[in-house]
Amino acid sequence: MDIQLKKTSSKKRLYIAAPFAIALLSVGYFLQSDTIPSIKEDKVTLVKVEQGSVDLYSQAFGELFSAQERILTSQAAGKVSAILLRPGATVTPESVILTLTNPELNQAYQSALGELNAQKAQLESFELEQQNARLDFQGRIADIESALESAQLDLDVNTQLSERGVSARLEILRAELEVKLQKKKLEFEKQKYEHFTKVQAFQLKQQHIEVEQQNQQVALLRAQLDDLDVKAGIVGTLQNLDVEIGESLPQGATLGRVGSVDALLARLRVPQHQADQIAIGASVELTTRKGSIQGEISRIESVVNNGVVLAEVQLIGELPSDARPLASVTGQIFIHTQENALYVRQTAGLRPQSQIERFVLDETQSHQAQKRQIQLGELTKGKLIIQSGLQVNDYFISQMQDTWAMHNMINIEQKG
Residue 192 CA to residue 186 CA, distance in Å, equals: 10
Cβ 408 vs Cβ 363: under 8 Å:
no
Cβ 80 vs Cβ 244: under 8 Å:
yes
Domain with 319 in it: what CATH number?
Answer: 2.40.30.170
CA atoms within 13 A on the CB side of 125: 6
pLDDT of residue 352: 87
Residue 28 lies in a domain: no
pLDDT of residue 193: 87
Cβ 97 vs Cβ 231: under 8 Å:
yes
Residue 346 lies in a domain: yes
Residue 12 lies in a domain: no
Residue 214 lies in a domain: yes
Residue 233 CA to residue 91 CA, distance in Å, equals: 9
pLDDT of residue 89: 92
Residue 7 lies in a domain: no
Give residue 348's domain range. 36-54+338-413
Same domain, 241 and 388: no
Residue 152 CA to residue 157 CA, distance in Å, equals: 9
Residue 385 lies in a domain: yes
Q: Which of 128, 91, 57, 54 is nearest to 330 (CA)?
A: 57
Report the number of distinct structural domains present in the chain: 4
Cβ 30 vs Cβ 404: under 8 Å:
no
Residue 69 CA to residue 257 CA, distance in Å, equals: 7
Residue 306 CA to residue 70 CA, distance in Å, equals: 28
Same domain, 361 and 408: yes
Residue 6 lies in a domain: no
Convert the pLDDT of each residue in 5-40 to its tens digit.
Answer: 344 444 445 455 555 555 444 444 444 445 788 888
Same domain, 123 and 199: yes
Same domain, 89 and 238: yes
pLDDT of residue 20: 52
- Residue 141, Cβ neighbours under 10 Å: how many? 16
Phi, psi (degrees; rounded to nearest 5) at 176: -65, -40
Same domain, 206 and 247: no
Q: Which residues of the chain have pLDDT under 70?
A: 1-34, 163-168, 363-366, 415-416
Same domain, 282 and 253: no
Is residue 351 classed as helix, strand or coil in its secondary structure? coil
Q: Which of 283, 305, 251, 212 is nearest to 74 (CA)?
A: 251
Same domain, 117 and 218: yes
pLDDT of residue 29: 42
Same domain, 177 and 151: yes
Any bridge partners for residue 384, and if so which?
A: 344, 379
Write down which residue in 285, 307, 336 finishes a domain.
336
pLDDT of residue 415: 66
Same domain, 324 and 378: no
